[in-house]
Amino acid sequence: MTPQAGSAALALVVVGLPFASFLLLALVRPLRRAAPAAAAVSVAAIAGALVAAVVAFTGAHPRAPLQSPSTTWSWIPADGGPMATVGVMVDELSLTMLVLVTLISFMVQVYSWAYLADEPRPSLGRYYTYQSLFAFSMLGLVLSPTFIQMFVFWELVGLCSYLLIGYWYDRPAAARAAVKAFWITKLGDLGFVAGIVMLWASAGTFDFVELFGLATTGGLAGDLSLIMFLVYLGAVGKSAQFPLHVWLPDAMEGPTPVSALIHAATMVTAGVFMVTRAFPLFQLVPDVLVLMAWVGAFTALLAASMACVENDIKRVLAYSTISQLGYMMAAAGAGEPSAGFAHLVAHGVFKALLFLGAGIVIHVFHTNDVFRMGGLRGHPWIWLPFLVATLALAGVWPLPGFFTKEAILAGVLEGHFRLPFLMLVVTAFLTAFYMFRVVFLAFFAHPHSGDHAHHAVPALMDWVCRLLAALTLVLGLRLAFGGHHAEGPAWLPALSLGLAGAGIALAWAMYQRGLVDPARVAGWFRPIDWLARRRYGLDGLFAALYRWVLLAFARLVGWVDRYLVDGVLNVLSAWTLRAGDRLRRLQTGLPQDYVYGVALGALVLFVLAQWRMR
Amino acid sequence: MPLSAYLALAAAVFAIGLFGVLTRRNAVGILLGIELMLNAVNINLVAFGRFHADLGGMLFTLFTIAITVAEVAVGLAIVIVIFRVRRTVEADHLDLLHG
Amino acid sequence: MIPFPALSIITWSPFVGAVLIMFLARHRPLAVRLIALVTTAVSTVLSVFIFVEYNQEAAGFQFYEKVPLVPPLGIAYEVAVDGMSLLMVLLTSIIIFAGVFASWTVATRSQEFYALLLALVTGVYGVFVSLDLFVFFLFYELAVLPMYLLIGIWGSSGEVRPRGIFAFAFRETGVGTKEYAAMKLTLYLLFGSAFILVGIFALYVGAGAGSFSFLELEAATFDPRLQLWVFLAFYVGFGILAGIWPLHTWSPDGHASAPTAVSMLHAGVLMKLGAYGVVRLGMGLLPDGAVELAWLVGGIACVNVVYGALSAMAQTDLKYVIAYSSVSHMGLVMLGAATLTEAGLNGSVFQMFAHGVMTGLFFALVGLVYEKAHSREIGRMGGFGRSMPGIATAFTVGGLSSLGLPATAGFVAEILTFMGAWRSAHPWWLVPAVAGTFLTAVYVLRVTKQIFWGPPSPHFDHLADARGPEWVALVLLTGVIVLFGLVPAIAIAPVDTATVPLLSRLVQP
């Protein structure tokens, strides 16, 4: 077996195990409804996938890049060779993602068992079915060797997101959030699907390797700027870039482990992954890259400002996810997708940890409101992992966030994006500030009256968090001492550390010591504060577009169809009925009248015949 | 006598029959009118048969007579049934077919 | 080659079932259902059999049978299938098989109901397998006419308030009643079939070969002007059945009023019959006409896609939502065909199949919901997911296929249509096609959320999930949707053998 075939087979194992688990759970009803068994199947499958992924990663990593990394099979046949193919593409990018996805999935599935222990058993079975489907879809996405396969799994992870946000489907808020997430991401996906179809029409293939080959030889016809812009739209929807980011904060209605896995670590980063994967194509269209960098930086800043005024701990984390995704996209837009991707991986680990840690505090206090938490100073095992992740997110040496963020900032500066760089720098400060605002309020603030019923934290949840915290540390230390070299100017590390420190200090002064009144600070930035608290009106804008434009137009069309298009027809038939009503009066019912008619008719015919014959 | 004389007679009988059908109020009268019209046809058939030396005319006349008998029987039966149901055989009152 | 007349058995087996039901099963409802089940099962099994047996290397028409009927006029009973009709036969048998189960609970006059249903199915099979256009037309009428009785007798009436400037006409025609719907549907379809008949005779005379056989007409070449007019006649005639705008209004009323199995069969198969007619007769026999009028077919299809989806969004009656979604999806079918590309035409035929199964599933589900909740008002429903999880799951799968989610059959059909659209002579068709999928996502998820999600509605209690025979229909249909979505090659490989030769005859301008 060649090394390539071997790693392809391993990749198939990785993606196949969760699929098998999903099939088993979906088809065997008694198994699904017996929660421990369902959980065991799902967790065992993802554990197997994790092992296989690690084996593939360590086995393939040191080797030189393979000649052709993808192995494909025909999916949609056509006359002259298949029109679309599916398969696996095993290279460094996909292997790294494999490990990340299986790792976080495994952690989250284990954690969920404790977190959702109170759920009814059939619901829990459903939960693990969705989890397996998600793991399968996400793994299929990262292994995609073709655009069409990527789109297939792209939509499937969207489906899982929809199903899992709506896990508590009888809560109206969850139902609304799930549908909103689907619609908004679908809006971006329209661009994606149109883009890949246009790309296919000009290149005749969906295959990345072939497309990259064409890209280097300049063999791509068609309006590539438009095509890649449309493809980029898909990433805008999925990776929650402005203005399609509105679905992500609402997605927090789902169970917290789901938010950790899907809406922080893996699925939302699919857009960044796609841009990284298809970067040889994006490279050909500088306009789109510039747009990507600007939108990314703007998204980062916008989301950070909203995170500063949010009281719901999960929503703060959601805004911080949007903000970090903005960083990654900005890096890709500045021509440094590898920096963005490194941030993706690091962020995946510590953001999952943040959410899982938040899950613990939510479990303890039974609320999402940070102002109703506090007094956990005496429980270091609760706040320590969270603190590690927060420091990583804030970009403090020697944690991974420091290095990856620095690389992004360096890349953006290198690309001469002055203003985006500035926005990202401000975001770095805000990130440290809002994250430590949460830390001080949720953990170290004075305990609130009445909320003292601390619930014991299940050991499983604790251990998952500790493991992830250790992993974050290891990742950071490896980057610190593992031959990391900074490309940016020498003042950059100092700047980013200084900003992080300033943010932390401000949060400490405001929320721990009470030295600065938050209301006064808010007063200095009154318009921004006012807007940020209203989410810049974007949610309202989308809601209004939906209600007053789309639905109103649909009602109009429905009315036109029912009362005009169909109305014309009904008028015709009504007239027919009326004409018939008039004409039937001719039928007197008297036989003699009919005989008169016959006689008269015969006479007319006779006269006519005579006249014609003359 | 020439053929035209027979045809004139038949036409006269037909016209009388038609007049009867159109003007009589009584259903039995209408039936009698129909009989006259049929017999006008019979006269034509016999006359043509005679002048063309074709037995087919006679043959058809026999057919017609037979059918007429049956028709009268059915017709009168219908009239009797109508009388039973409606207590009248006045044609003006029998307008169930009106639209 | 197989030694028995497979196609004739498939076609006539339901008819035999209908006759048996009428003669042997009076007042024995179980016997009625068993006869229906066995005869449709024969067709289904044989359809799967010929689907597997079909030789894709040889392609062309296979399982050929011919019996002369009126030799002087060149009329013969001549049946065969190619890759395209093969898939349609399979679709028909899947839908009717599921339909027998879905209408298991029909109580009134079930004997006549099943007999008419089975007679209708014979007509549908006959249309798909006939090569002789005269016999094709006979089967076509057989497929259309029983609908009148089925809707008029076993249908259900809705409510439509007379409004607007034409309100008087709504009052006078009785809009909303099942009698109105049945009459509208029948008149519309007969109106269309008049065009088809004229078209068939025009071809018969125009070819001058004294034969109605498709194969001989295919070999003939027709004057371009004649082609234009006959194509137009076929387009209007079959298009009415396929629900083209603005001649689609029979479809929402008809489908909403019809009983479950009839809606399934009608939206699932008969509308496809219209599209099939346009492709097979219109494009197959009149290549110049098809190329000449592709802009019209595609343009109207675009209207269908967007307009149907928007109308579906505006409905408050569940059955109307599904019925309008058919109008929208039939637009995609016609759009794919109008692209005149391999991808588009394959997508079109695949969409016929995918939409057939999906809409069959939808109507089966709506029937079940209606039977249990006795309401079709979406606004009154809510939280049904808790009491009927099976129905909710099946509805979600159908909905996802409808909005073109990958791993369902709907996606393959849509992406192929998109690909064809962008490669066609009118690339802008891609825009309404793509927009249609978004609008579909909006109305499908909106309805799903309203009915199955959220807190349980106070208007209903004691709702039960599907049971017994009903499960068979749901599992069969959802299984087919997912199977063909995962492995589209099963269907596309044979279809491709039929569409490629068809397209090679079309000369692009």
Q: Is C407 on the interface with A (CB under 8 A)?
A: yes
Contact C346 A78 (CB under 8 A): yes
Give the other-Cβ count within 10 Å of A5's Cβ: 11
Mean pLDDT over residues A50-64, rounded?
Answer: 76
Contact A592 B30 (CB under 8 A): yes
Q: Is A599 on the interface with B (CB under 8 A)?
A: yes
Summarize pLDDT for A490-503 with one digit per residue, the tens.
788 888 888 889 98
Determine what percent of chain A is predicted with pLDDT higher than 90: 36
* Count of helix runs (H) and strand runs (E) in chain B: 3, 0
Summary mean pLDDT of chain A: 87
Q: Is C441 on the interface with A (CB under 8 A)?
A: yes
For residue A374, pLDDT over 50 is answered with yes
In C, minimum Cα distance to A85 occurs at C489
Contact A591 B22 (CB under 8 A): no
Contact C440, C403 (CB under 8 A): yes
What pLDDT shows up at residue A453?
55
Mean pLDDT over residues A595-611, rounded?
Answer: 91
Residues of B in contact with A590 (CB under 8 A): 91-92, 94-95, 98
Q: Do chains B and C touch (3 or more CB pairs under 8 A)?
A: no
Residues of A in contact with C417 (CB under 8 A): none
What is the Cα–Cα distance from C124 to C140, expressed in whole angstroms? 7
Does a cis peptide bond (omega within 30 degrees of 0) precede residue A398? yes
What ipTM was predicted for this assembly? 0.91
Closest CA to A233 of A196, A258, A205, A181: A196
Summarize pLDDT for A406-435 with one digit per residue, the tens.
888 888 888 888 899 999 999 999 999 999
Pick from A175, A570, A578: CB nearest C170: A570
- Region for residue C156 given its phi and psi (left: phi exceeds 0; alpha: psi -120 to 50; beta: otherwise): beta
What pLDDT shows up at residue C509?
45
Strand, coil or helix: A362: helix
Tens of pLDDT, residue by residue, chain C (509 residues): 677 888 999 999 999 999 999 888 788 888 888 999 999 999 999 999 999 988 888 888 888 888 888 888 888 999 999 989 999 999 999 999 998 888 887 777 888 889 999 999 999 999 999 999 999 999 998 888 888 898 888 888 877 777 777 888 888 787 878 888 888 889 899 999 999 999 999 999 888 878 888 888 888 888 888 999 999 999 999 999 998 988 898 888 888 888 888 888 888 898 999 999 999 999 988 888 888 899 999 999 999 999 999 999 999 888 899 999 999 999 999 999 999 999 999 999 999 999 999 999 999 998 888 888 888 888 888 888 888 888 999 999 999 999 989 889 999 999 999 999 998 888 999 999 999 999 999 999 999 998 888 888 888 777 788 777 888 889 999 999 999 999 999 899 999 988 888 888 886 54
Chain A nearest C-alpha distance from C368 (Å): 21
* Contacting partners of chain B (3+ CB pairs under 8 A): A
Contact A538, A243 (CB under 8 A): yes
Torsion sign over Cα A287, A290, A296, A298: negative
Contact C150, C117 (CB under 8 A): yes
For residue A66, pLDDT over 60 is answered with no
What pLDDT shows up at residue A218?
78
Give the other-Cβ count within 10 Å of C125's Cβ: 30
Mean pLDDT over residues A556-582, rounded?
Answer: 88
Contact C385 A190 (CB under 8 A): no
Mean pLDDT over residues A316-334, rounded?
Answer: 92
Which stretch of DSSP H or E encloses residue C485? helix C469-486
Phi then psi for A525, rounded to 5 degrees? -110, 45
Contact A139, A64 (CB under 8 A): no
Summarize pLDDT for A140-184 with one digit per residue, the tens.
999 999 999 999 999 999 999 999 998 988 888 999 999 999 999
Contact A200, A207 (CB under 8 A): no
Show which of residues 442-471 on chain C sit within 8 Å of chain A, judged by CB atoms.
442-443, 445-446, 449, 452-456
Phi then psi for A116, rounded to 5 degrees? -105, 25
In A, minimum Cα distance to B91 occurs at A590
Closest CA to A288 of A199, A231, A228, A243: A228
Q: Is B30 on the interface with A (CB under 8 A)?
A: yes
Summarize pLDDT for C321-341 with one digit per residue, the tens.
999 999 999 999 999 999 999
Residues of B in contact with A584 (CB under 8 A): 99
Top pLDDT among A305 and A450 is at A305
Contact C159, C319 (CB under 8 A): no
What is the Cα–Cα distance from A425 to A344, expressed in whole angstroms? 18
Contact C422 A153 (CB under 8 A): no
Reported pTM:
0.89
Region of poorest pLDDT, from A127-136, B45-54, C461-470:
C461-470
Q: To which residue do tokens 């829990």 refer?
A: A124
pLDDT tier at A2 (50, 70, 90 boundaries)?
very low
Q: Is C197 on the interface with A (CB under 8 A)?
A: no
Strand, coil or helix: A139: helix
What pLDDT shows up at residue C235?
93
What pLDDT shows up at residue A449?
56
Outline where A309-414 has alpha helix (H): 313-333, 337-365, 380-394, 400-414
* Contacting partners of chain C (3+ CB pairs under 8 A): A
Closest CA to A138 of A266, A251, A17: A266
Closest CA to A243 of A536, A501, A5, A466: A536
Mean pLDDT over residues A305-324, rounded?
Answer: 91
Q: To which residue do tokens 């109170």 refer?
A: A118
Mean pLDDT over residues A55-77, rounded?
Answer: 72
Burial A481-491 (b: 16+ CB within 10 A, else e): eeeeeeebeee
Which stretch of DSSP H or E encloses residue A75? strand A70-76
Q: Is C310 on the interface with A (CB under 8 A)?
A: yes
Contact B22 A586 (CB under 8 A): no
For C485, residues 6+ apart whose C-beta sits below 8 A from its C-beta are C354, C401, C406, C407, C408, C409, C410, C411, C412
Distances (CA, A) of C118 to A335, B80, C81, C207, C424: 65, 47, 21, 35, 40
What is the Cα–Cα distance from C70 to C67, expressed in whole angstroms? 10
Closest CA to C397 of C485, C314, C467, C312: C485
In A, minimum Cα distance to B92 occurs at A590
Strand, coil or helix: C57: coil
Pick from A183, A186, A201: CB nearest C419: A201
Pairs of residues, one from chain A and one from chain C, whose beta carbons lie less than 8 Å apart: 162
Which stretch of DSSP H or E encloses residue C64? strand C62-70
Chain A nearest C-alpha distance from B48 (Å): 21
What pLDDT shows up at residue A183?
93
Pairing of strands A84-89, A70-76: antiparallel
Q: Residue C24 CA to chain centroid, in angstroms?
A: 31
Summarize pLDDT for C252-292 with one digit per residue, the tens.
888 888 888 888 888 889 899 999 999 999 998 888 888 88
Chain C nearest C-alpha distance from A164 (Å): 13
- Looking at this protein, which amino acid is placed at residue A201? A
Residues of C in contact with A159 (CB under 8 A): 400, 405
Contact A169 C165 (CB under 8 A): no
Contact C304, C243 (CB under 8 A): yes
Which stretch of DSSP H or E encloses residue A433? helix A418-439
Region of poorest pLDDT, from A4-13, A275-284, A289-298, A361-370:
A4-13
Pick from C411, C435, C489: CB nearest A77: C489
Show the beta-strand stretches assigned E in B8-97.
none
pLDDT tier at A487 (50, 70, 90 boundaries)?
low
Chain B nearest C-alpha distance from A610 (Å): 18
Show which of residues 199-238 on chain C sit within 8 Å of chain A, judged by CB atoms.
none
Entry field: residues in chain C: 509
Region of poorest pLDDT, from A3-17, A182-196, A588-602, C134-148:
A3-17
Q: Is A586 on the interface with B (CB under 8 A)?
A: yes
DSSP tag of C108:
T
Mean pLDDT over residues B20-38, rounded?
Answer: 89
What pLDDT shows up at residue A320?
92
Q: Do chains A and C touch (3 or more CB pairs under 8 A)?
A: yes
Contact C310 A554 (CB under 8 A): yes
For C140, residues 6+ apart whose C-beta sits below 8 A from its C-beta are C123, C127, C193, C196, C273, C277
Closest CA to A290 of A225, A344, A245: A225
Outline where C258-317 has alpha helix (H): 260-265, 271-277, 284-285, 287-314
Strand, coil or helix: C317: strand
Residues of C in contact with A565 (CB under 8 A): 246, 249
pLDDT tier at A67 (50, 70, 90 boundaries)?
low
